[in-house]
Structure 1
Amino acid sequence: MNIFVAKLNFKSKKEELEAAFAKYGQVTSCKIVRDKETGRSKGFGFVEMPNDEEATAAIAALNEKEFDGRVIVVKIANPKQQD
């Protein structure tokens, strides 16, 4: 399941985000989206978890909870739009 994470602290690290989700199950990928020109975090990212039950548990546990000094939003990611 692909999970969208918003309202991240701009200083949050990929490893910290991955560790938070790994408490609930296997994480296959974790990415914090960054500005191409500045390299600065855009404040959101994506976490991929192969087991839907574990992913659902992570969403329930982490949504609207404090992470790295900010209250984050965690939900199922919308599929990418095909052009």
Structure 2
Amino acid sequence: MSIYVGNLSFKATEADVTNVFKEYGEVKKVYLPSDRETGKMRGFGFVDMETENQEATAIDELNGTEWMGRILKVNKAKPRE
């Protein structure tokens, strides 16, 4: 299962996001989508962690916190349709 991270700073990098989430366990993958035309980050991303327990802890601890001047929205990612 993945974690959805919304309202990210447009300056955030995959390394930045990894550093925040690794406090709660092993980060397997970070994906920050970018706009196809401009190449700029879209302001959200997805994080995969080693276990669901680590994901749940990260969601509980980070949702609603301020990071890089923005209030994060962190929850379980919905499966793609």
- TM-score, normalised relative to structure 2: 0.95
Structure 1 residue 7, shift from structure 2 partner:
0.5
Structure 1 residue 31, shift from structure 2 partner:
1.1
Structure 1 residue 27, shift from structure 2 partner:
0.7
User: Hey, what's the Cα distance between the residues in 1 that align with 2:77 and 2:25?
Assistant: 18
Structure 1 residue 33, shift from structure 2 partner:
1.1
Structure 1 residue 37, shift from structure 2 partner:
1.4
- State the match for 1:27 in structure 2: 27
Matched position secondary structure for 1:5: strand
User: Hey, what's the Cα distance between the residues in 1 that align with 2:67 and 2:17?
Assistant: 8
Which residues of structure 2 form unaligned runs of 5+? none
- TM-score, normalised relative to structure 1: 0.93
